[in-house]
């Protein structure tokens, strides 16, 4: 099984707010991406190195207010919405795998249902909890399996922003490391002891920054 960081999601109150805030922090304007009709969300995306990408995501005000299910990445959670009202925040990291079914079978925690998404000629399967929550409040990744073809990052802009580390903090770091090892993703994140928290360390035109 081959697992690697596929992308990481930064939530925003609106894409306009997110673009402005990210430009101040990163020194670049994250280009507009597309819409997720099944979730009534939309995004901005750009390459972040090693066939991965940064995703800035927000609720789409032009989409139906009720997409028929709880939105992903806790975007419907009032607590998340209150946090995003102040500034964009790290929401989730997403690991690409070539055997999603094996990941689900091996996982000691519920990663959510596997949902098939399509956009144009691309399709992908993604773990999405039905209640919209994130496994261990986002410390565990979502898992994605793309249909055959080039990784979507190959068609995105390269603006010299690179993900240098996914950073995880937990009161019991050894317990978290054990779960990550079972999922075969322990090599993809840095784990330290402290209150539960997720952050992304980035190398950018403005230097090293951390988005939490």
Those residues of the chain that have pLDDT short of 70 are: 1
Give the pLDDT score at 1: 61
Strands (DSSP E) found in 37-161: 41-47, 53-59, 89-97, 113-119, 122-128, 142-146
Give the pLDDT score at 9: 98
Chain mean position to CA 194: 22
Cβ-proximal residues to 60 (8 Å cutoff; 6+ apart), any chain: 35, 36, 40, 41, 42
d(CA 116, CA 128): 10
Lookup: tokens for 48: 């972040």
**What number of other Cβ atoms are within 10 A of residue 29's Cβ?**
14
In degrees to the nearest 10, what's the CA dihedral of 45, 76, 35, 55?
A: 10
d(CA 74, CA 113): 15
Q: For the domain bounded by 3-149, which CATH number is listed?
A: 3.10.180.10
**Cβ(162)–Cβ(48) below 8 Å:** yes
Q: What is the pLDDT of residues 153-197, one digit of tens each?
A: 999 999 999 999 999 999 999 999 999 999 999 999 999 999 999
């Amino acid at each position: 099984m081959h697992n690697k960081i596929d992308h990481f999601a930064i939530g925003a109150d609106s894409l306009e707010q997110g673009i402005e805030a990210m430009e101040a922090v990163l020194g670049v304007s994250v280009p507009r991406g597309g819409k997720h009709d099944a979730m009534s969300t939309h995004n901005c995306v750009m390459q972040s190195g090693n066939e991965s990408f940064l995703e800035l995501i927000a609720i789409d005000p032009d989409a139906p207010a009720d997409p028929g299910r709880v939105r992903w990445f806790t975007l419907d959670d009032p607590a998340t919405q209150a946090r995003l009202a102040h500034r964009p925040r790290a929401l989730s990291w997403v690991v690409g795998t070539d055997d999603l079914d094996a990941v689900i079978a091996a996982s000691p925690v519920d990663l959510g249902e596997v949902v098939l998404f399509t956009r144009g000629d691309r399709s992908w399967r993604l773990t999405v909890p039905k209640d919209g929550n994130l496994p261990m409040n986002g410390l565990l990744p979502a898992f994605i399996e793309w249909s055959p073809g080039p990784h979507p990052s190959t068609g995105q802009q390269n603006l010299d922003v690179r993900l240098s580390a996914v950073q995880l903090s937990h009161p019991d770091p050894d317990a978290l490391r054990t779960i990550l090892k079972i999922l075969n993703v322990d090599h993809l994140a840095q784990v330290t002891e402290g209150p539960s928290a997720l952050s992304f360390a980035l190398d950018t035109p403005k230097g090293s920054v951390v988005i939490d």
